[in-house]
Chains A and B, each alone.
Chain A
């Protein structure tokens, strides 16, 4: 129990350090961008007005003080007001978050449901045509640029095939292509990982024993192999969920999906920095919380990890 607690404590500490680093980078980058006040005011605003707003935002104070205030605001989820939407940036981002979660979760489920059986089958039927074909596709899926895969899907399945809408959000048909595009990289990674994890276990002595005592091959694979291969699969699969968040920026832009990734890109065009910062920070929080939870699950699944 004590080992588990110290494991949790260490992971929590690391998660907080990461969050602190991300927020500091956000602060530094924001300072590099120069004075945001002219962006907030009409171009013909008098100098006195500029000074007033600057003082109001605390930009006339020393940098360390500004940094402290910034960290305090971040802790309260206050990223300032959106210049474009004219309401708090955090509220804007929260409004776009459900669409991203819907896309991300669907893609994640999709990837796992396809990739794990494919990887398993590939390992069991090692060096057959099936194995080579699926792993070949997985290699392409891992190294092909996501945005172009999305474009190809739109071109072939929406425009030429006419089976799916090209963009937007609404029905299941709208969700299918963006989810598939976003899922592809994860699917490929998880399939390859499942294959190698299962192969690893298949070489173990206890598998030979299970076979030697005459167990049906299906039982050997289902009961003895897959259970033992599950731990690395669960971990890496969980980590992949975070990677999906990064991929969402690209996928949402390709398919005009109204989530926080597309919001971030549009806010960059609008020079709406509070929103950009909020998206970056929120994604970091989501990502870090996820990693933390996965670490915990891993710790529960495999007691050997806790002692590290």
Chain B
């Protein structure tokens, strides 16, 4: 990219070299940051997958004798409650480890659902144009003109909280960004001659999309999906905190913060540990999205 800057005068070329060096340094740094972010997510994913082996205790087994025990290194029964226990005597560390499953599973599934719906609608809007485009884009505007969490609450209240409902509702909350980017890409390609040529040769719309549209938007999609992942994880946790997410006794980070709310005064650890992990995850993932955007697709910056 940097080499395309015209270096007309010698005096300018020195500045350009400096500029290039700086851009190169920034890009290298961005790569390390992104690697760190991806590494963090992989680590959380590994913990989620390996939960049965990593968790020192059963995450849903209650123990009246061990209620509200403070975090400790001392083991009474061979395995210490490193992060303490909750109001039902369940091991907080084990629940935090298992909670990673819910966060990541719902997060990734919701991103897939939102990405699929948004991309499909964006492609339809771009290719079909006319009333299909108008309807889809009006829907997008309507959704952006409204705090989605209220609608999500209404829908989940009526349908009842379940894993599929949660995934679909959170997924639907984020389709607009994908639709916009694909629509604009399709619009910019639609009038190009090679698209007419592919048409004339009998190539289908699907072929045009797969061969010519998707490669062009792939980096934007990666950026959007990463930022959406952070949003989906936070939204799932928020819904769980409100009692509308994954239902007890399945441990989820948001649900754990909710359960610990009543015991903040006497047992701060029940809410604090899952909350801190959630906060770290959401900050790391959304920062990774920002870094990816700066590296891959600076044009998205305004959005």
**Which residues from chain A sit less than 8 Å from chain B, CB to CB?**
14, 17-18, 21-22, 25-26, 29-30, 32-33, 139-140, 142-148, 151-152, 154-155, 159, 166, 242-243, 245-247, 249-250, 253-254, 264-265, 268-269, 273, 276-277, 279-280, 283-284, 287-288, 291
Cα of A151 to Cα of B264 in the assembled complex, Å: 8
Task: Please indicate the chain B residues that have their CB under 8 angstroms from the CB of A21 in the complex.
Answer: 138-139, 142
In the bound complex, what is the Cα–Cα distance between A283 and B147 (angstroms)?
8
* B52 proximity list for chain A (CB < 8 A): none
Contacts of A273 in B (CB 8 A): 157-158
Inside 8 A of B141's CB, which chain A residues have their CB? Answer: 14, 18
Partner of B243, one of A14, A142, A265: A265
Known contacts being A145-B234, A264-B153, A269-B243, is A18 close to B282, with CB within 8 Å?
no
Interface contact B151-A280, CB-CB below 8 Å: yes
Q: Give the complex CA separation of A253 and B283 in angstroms.
A: 23
Distance from A144 Cβ to chain B, minimum over Cβ atoms (Å):
5
Binding site for A on B (CB under 8 A): 138-139, 141-142, 145-151, 153-155, 157-159, 230, 234, 237-238, 241-244, 254, 257, 260-261, 264-265, 268, 271-272, 275, 278-279, 282-283, 286-287, 290
Q: Identify A139's interface contact among B260, B271, B275, B283, CB under 8 A.
A: B283
Chain A residues with CB below 8 A from B279, complex form: 144-145, 148
Whole-angstrom CA separation of A152 from B271 in the bound complex:
9
**What's the Cα separation between A106 and B36 when bound, in Å?**
39
Q: Is the interface of B mostly helix, strand, loop or mixed?
A: helix
B246 to chain A, nearest CB (A): 15
A276 to B264 Cα, complex, angstroms = 29
Are A143's CB and B145's CB within 8 A?
no
Q: For the complex formed, measure the closest distance between the CB of A50 and the CB atoms of chain B, giving whole angstroms.
A: 20
Complex Cα–Cα for A246 and B239 (A): 12
Residue of B nearest to A22 (CB): B146
Cβ-neighbour of B254 out of A147, A280, A288 (below 8 A): A147
Report whether B149 and A246 are in contact in the complex, using a CB–CB cutoff of 8 Å: yes
> CB distance B155 to A29 under 8 Å?
yes
* Pair B146/A287 contact, Cβ less than 8 Å: yes
Q: Is the interface of A mostly helix, strand, loop or mixed?
A: helix
| A143 close to B157 (CB less than 8 A) | no
Q: Say yes or no: A268-B153 contact (C-beta < 8 A), given A32-B159, A139-B287.
A: yes
- Let me know if B242 and A154 touch, CB within 8 A: no
Min CB distance A27 to B, Å, is: 11
Q: Could you tell me if B243 and A246 are in contact, using CB atoms closer than 8 angstroms? A: no
A14 CB contacts on chain B under 8 angstroms? 138, 141
A187 to B286 CA separation, bound complex (whole angstroms): 18
Are A287 and B147 in contact, CB atoms less than 8 angstroms apart? yes
Cα distance, A140 to B281, chains bound together (Å): 11
Contact between B243 and A250, CB atoms less than 8 A apart? no
Please name all residues of chain B whose beta carbon is closer than 8 Å to the beta carbon of A17 when the two chains form the complex: 138, 142
Q: A155-B264, A287-B147 are in contact. Are A145 and B238 (CB under 8 A)?
A: yes
Nearest-CB distance from B52 to chain A (Å)? Answer: 27
- A30, A243, A250, most chain B CB atoms within 10 A: A250
CB-based contact A151/B275 at 8 Å: yes
| Cα distance A151–B283 in the bound complex, in angstroms | 17
**B142–A268 touching, CB < 8 Å:** no
Q: Which of B145, B154, B238 contacts A29 (CB 8 A)?
A: B154
**Shortest Cβ distance from B79 into chain A, in angstroms?**
27
Supposing A32-B159, A246-B149, A249-B242 touch, asked if A143 and B230 sit within 8 A by C-beta, the answer is yes
Bound: A4/B29 CA distance, A = 49
Complex Cα–Cα for A188 and B189 (A): 37
Let me know if B142 and A18 touch, CB within 8 A. yes
- Give A139 to B230 CA distance when docked, in angstroms: 13
Q: Is the CB of A18 within 8 A of B154?
A: no
Would you call A242 and B242 a contact (CB within 8 A)?
A: no
Q: How far is the CB of A134 from chain B (nearest CB, A)?
A: 16
Residues from chain B with Cβ under 8 Å of A147 in the complex: 237-238, 241, 254, 257
A146 and B243 alpha carbons, distance in the complex (Å): 15
Contact B157 A279 (CB under 8 A): no
Which chain B positions have C-beta within 8 A of A148?
A: 237, 257, 271, 275, 278-279
* Beta-carbon nearest neighbor of A33 in chain B: B158
Q: What are 23 inter-chain pairs, A to B, with CB distance below 8 A? A: A18-B145, A29-B159, A32-B159, A139-B287, A143-B287, A144-B279, A145-B278, A147-B241, A147-B257, A148-B237, A148-B278, A151-B257, A151-B261, A155-B271, A155-B272, A246-B147, A246-B149, A250-B238, A250-B241, A268-B244, A276-B157, A287-B145, A288-B146
Known A18-B142, A147-B254, A148-B275; contact A140-B153, beta-carbon cutoff 8 A: no
Q: CA of A155 to CA of B250 in the docked complex: distance in angstroms?
A: 25
Q: Which residue in chain B gives the minimum CB-CB distance to A26?
A: B154
Q: How far is the CA of A283 from the CA of B151 in the complex (A)?
A: 10
Complex alpha-carbon distance, A3 and B275, angstroms: 51
- Among B139, B150, B159, B279, find the residue whose CB has the most chain A CB atoms closer than 10 A: B150
Tell me the complex Cα distance, A291–B283, Å.
29
Query: For residue B272, which residues in chain A have a CB less than 8 angstroms away from its CB?
Result: 151-152, 155
B257 and A33 contact, CB distance less than 8 A? no
Give the most central of A30, A147, A288: most B CB within 10 Å. A147
Q: How far is the CB of A92 from chain B (nearest CB, A)?
A: 16
Note all chain A residues with C-beta closer than 8 A to B271: 148, 151, 155
A159 touching B265 in the complex, CB below 8 Å, given contacts A21-B139, A246-B148, A246-B150: yes
Kindly name the residue among B139, B151, B244 whose own CB sees the greatest number of chain A CB atoms within 10 A.
Answer: B151
